[in-house]
Amino acid sequence: MAKLTYEHLILVIIAVVMAIMPLIAAVPQAWILYVFIFCVYLSMSCMWNLIAGYSGLISLCQPAFLGLAGYALALGTWIGVPWWAGLIGGAIVAGIFAVLVSFAVFRLSGMYFAIGTLVIPEALRSLFILWRPVGGPMTGGGAGYMIKNISGIGITEIYWMALTIAVISIVIFRLILNSNLGLGLAAIRDNQQTAASCGVNTFKLKLYVFVTGAVITGLIGAVYYIYQGFIEPTRTFNVSWSMAILLATVIGGIRTKGGAILGSMVYVFLYFVLARYGGYSLLIQGVILIVIILISPQGLLGILYRFSFYRSFAIFMEKPVFGKNN
């Protein structure tokens, strides 16, 4: 059993402060939106860091998971399924889909795995543009649907759901890394053939993290579409989601335990600041990403390690808060 330390206390205090923010009248509503978006990207970045950074699986099919979960939620509300059941069902659908595609994509490795997973959301986008499982008017581009029966859900409830999922994603991320499963994933990342020859069930371990990442990504994606109120395939199954997750993870520091937190904060800042530049936004973000990679392959956390004034913060971000460090 993990020993309670001041690091636990600090994290609990931060979580509590974030939880009560919507109840404080002095807090601007814009801040609630910023933290909500931060929680969305943090949840997805934690899982992508686990899949890509620590398992070596450069997965680009995360839009497929959040899209399928979102559509399961939306279509469920059209046939009378309560939104909360659709939320859970959407996460389950994303997990089942991850299991199904794993048998094909796990036969690939390296660049071929990345390309194989990139094709999946594109195929789903074409499918959902053509397929209309329930009637009703179009919303947005393609076969879009309003999410029904959510008028009673306010921004505060949506905010709390996103915050809860973000906390859960961090806990799962740390628990996996500080377990034997984390050691097995590191072995697979370094050399899959050698790991298999040493008795590591490579398919099983990869499947665990792939499905876990799909479920959490689908769950937070469904919460995001509750906030948005509708879903449509063009923007849902879009590579921009993969780019955002990749940027948040790499900017903060891929293969670092605190990189997703720091990177998501920076990405949300860039998201709102660069929104005014429209189509140039991704180009500017790409330039920032390249500069950070050239300066420090371990992202902003790697840069902080170089300055003694900020080193204690960087070390705190990497502390094994849950269990021992491997």
Contacts of residue 198, defined as CB under 8 A and 6 or more positions apart, other chains included, come to 187
Handedness of CA 40, 102, 299, 294 (dihedral sign): negative
Separation of first and last alpha carbons in the chain: 16
Q: Output the pLDDT for position 323.
A: 46
Whether this prediction's pTM lies above 0.85 is answered by yes
Q: Output the pLDDT for position 163.
A: 95
How many Å apart are CA 116 and CA 105, to the nearest integer? 6
Give the tokens for residue 20. Answer: 């009560």
Going residue by residue through the chain (326 aa), what tens digit of pLDDT does each one get? Answer: 445 555 667 778 888 999 999 998 888 888 999 999 999 999 999 999 999 988 888 999 999 999 999 999 998 998 889 999 999 999 999 999 999 999 999 988 888 999 999 999 999 998 888 776 665 554 444 567 889 888 889 999 999 999 999 999 999 998 898 888 888 888 887 777 777 777 778 888 889 999 999 999 999 999 999 999 989 888 899 888 998 898 899 888 888 888 888 889 989 988 888 877 777 777 887 788 788 878 877 788 777 776 654 555 555 555 554 444 44
Helix, strand, or coil here: 144? Answer: coil
**Helices (H), ranges, the chain:** 6-20, 29-48, 62-78, 83-105, 110-130, 155-177, 180-190, 192-197, 202-228, 233-236, 239-252, 259-273, 281-295, 299-304, 308-318
How far, rounded to the nearest angstrom, does the alpha carbon of residue 290 sit from its chain's CA centroid? 21
44 contacts 217 by C-beta, under 8 angstroms: yes
In the block, tokens 């808060």 appear at: 321
